[in-house]
Structure 1
């Protein structure tokens, strides 16, 4: 029997698992594989250099799957920001029905997308930001715990607390993001009140992930200690895979006495351009790249279909075992 949660009902998916919108990973191959396996695949809008390139990628994805898939649109601070309204316009014109949003000041883009009756999943690292997103009319919240890859926020609240707080305070359904890799995690998230989970790092270590095999193996070989937190001093904290470059970034940050991002020299070290090359050339130490603490739970590189089938089976077995732990006393 398939899962029946608010997420599966709204999105038309079989398994309540959303693929994270990962920069340089969320291409058509990745999104289609996850959707075909019963979850929700996501293209990453800003992985495409222009809105028209995103249009081409959406159309390419449509040739690979007939199942629902969505687009991630993350709004990040930049000296010259991307044309977010143009990306949103392409999403609308191409008939995409599900969008994951994240980042700063998403109100105008969310309003633009909601006017086209698009389902919005908005990612937040704090309850305060989640409550602000509720006022914007989002349909689901993706609650992103401190365990996650990439931008972890500045409050260091792990998912065990964050999800329970979300259950107590939020008025819209939510999914759990950060720290999930298996069916036991899915079952735990459901027990805490979530309607499903979001997985990023776990999907990087799949056959279909469009990254070098060496990087997939690096994830398998790593443990839960193999991440670094950088840019804490500048309140732009990111969790990265612990390689030579990330460790150098940590060293520079600790040694800096000015507090001036430009003068510290750390910007060149954490350049995203070199991180993109890592996924192509397979040298895990060439640049920085994001990974969550969940790397300690990843032990293989399956297909997306095999992974989601396994997660579904594990979750059902875990929920069944949990329900069997309580037996009401028989009435005399």
Structure 2
């Protein structure tokens, strides 16, 4: 496919970005996506600072192509994480879950390309004002931590496109070439893909979680815990425990007590399908196999090109 704003910005072959998901996006996945022509991201949200350093170093050895780091800004050790990113010469950073003004100038001064993830037009404009190089607009279909606005990708992308001048990346509910084409017709310059890459050979998630993604059908995920941070989960025992607690009119502290610590790690990394948080997007309903990440990229591009030809004849 031809170059565009996103392939030019990141110096990549295809405008496909692998989301920096916690417990899924280690160096094996990021390097595989980058080697296949997309942009791989390391998910710093589930890594202690020195673990992140190790993954950056391994990723550099595994690919000579561009890759980046996703940093959720609500996590601790943020200064240490940013220092490591600079020390290791990372050139692309995606920030999320926080105010883009906090770190954008610091990163830009170091020559780093900065992208911020948002869930609304208001926050897209704030990110642009903060000086980011591009924005990811993520719809409510997405897995993991989600926007409070409940705006779906199909409505969010054209609304953001109307107001934005920097390049726009669509996320949430995109796992196929057809989905990619639809997002780009609506105004996106590229796509960020999470759930489809979580169910790949190179994903660092537990095999049981990968199979849970494959088995998930439409309606099997739901956003909950909005009082803490909205998160889309597969409906398992833990999810139903949350629902039962809500029926009692719980306080925020009650919800925090039930959630406890490391629920996402327990489910996604350790494979506890009953007591863990199983974060995945609605698009899991059409993910039917666990394949290499490079094959995901190749299949998406092949389907994108075929769908584009079909669209010409509509």
Question: So what's the TM-score if we normalise by structure 1?
Answer: 0.90
How many Å separate the matches in 2 of 1:271 and 1:291? 20
Report the alpha carbon displacement of residue 272 of structure 1 after superposing the two structures with TM: 4.9
Instruction: Say how many residue pairs are matched.
Output: 314
Q: SS at 1:162's partner residue?
A: helix
**For residue 98 of structure 2, what is the aligned residue in structure 1?**
104
5+ residue gaps, structure 2: none
5+ residue gaps, structure 1: 326-332
Does residue 70 in structure 1 map to residue 68 in structure 2?
yes
How many Å separate the matches in 2 of 1:108 and 1:185? 33
**For residue 255 of structure 1, what is the aligned residue in structure 2?**
248
**For residue 60 of structure 1, what is the aligned residue in structure 2?**
58
Does residue 188 in structure 1 map to residue 186 in structure 2?
no
**For residue 113 of structure 1, what is the aligned residue in structure 2?**
107
Question: Residues 1-332 of structure 1: matches in 2 within 5 Å?
Answer: 2-50=1-49, 52-76=50-74, 82-232=76-226, 234=227, 236-257=229-250, 260-262=251-253, 264=254, 266-325=255-314
Q: SS at 2:103's partner residue?
A: helix
Q: SS at 2:116's partner residue?
A: strand
Deviations 1:4-58 (A, max 9, x none): 22111111111211111111222111111111111111112232212x3322221
Report the alpha carbon displacement of residue 268 of structure 1 after superposing the two structures with TM: 3.6
How many Å separate the matches in 2 of 1:235 and 1:268? 11
Report the alpha carbon displacement of residue 222 of structure 1 after superposing the two structures with TM: 0.8
**For residue 330 of structure 1, what is the aligned residue in structure 2?**
none
How many Å separate the matches in 2 of 1:64 and 1:297? 30
Q: Is the CA contact 2:168–2:188 (under 8 Å) kept in the aligned structure 1?
A: yes
Structure whose alpha-carbon radius of gyration is higher: 1
Question: So what's the TM-score if we normalise by structure 2?
Answer: 0.95
How many Å separate the matches in 2 of 1:280 and 1:90? 24
- Structure 1's consecutive aligned runs of 4 or more residues displaced over 3 angstroms after TM superposition are none
Report the alpha carbon displacement of residue 250 of structure 1 after superposing the two structures with TM: 2.1
Report the alpha carbon displacement of residue 86 of structure 1 after superposing the two structures with TM: 2.3
Report the alpha carbon displacement of residue 279 of structure 1 after superposing the two structures with TM: 3.2
Q: SS at 2:211's partner residue?
A: helix
**Cα RMSD (Å) of the superposition?**
1.5
Deviations 1:131-167 (A, max 9, x none): 0110110011000101111222211111111001012
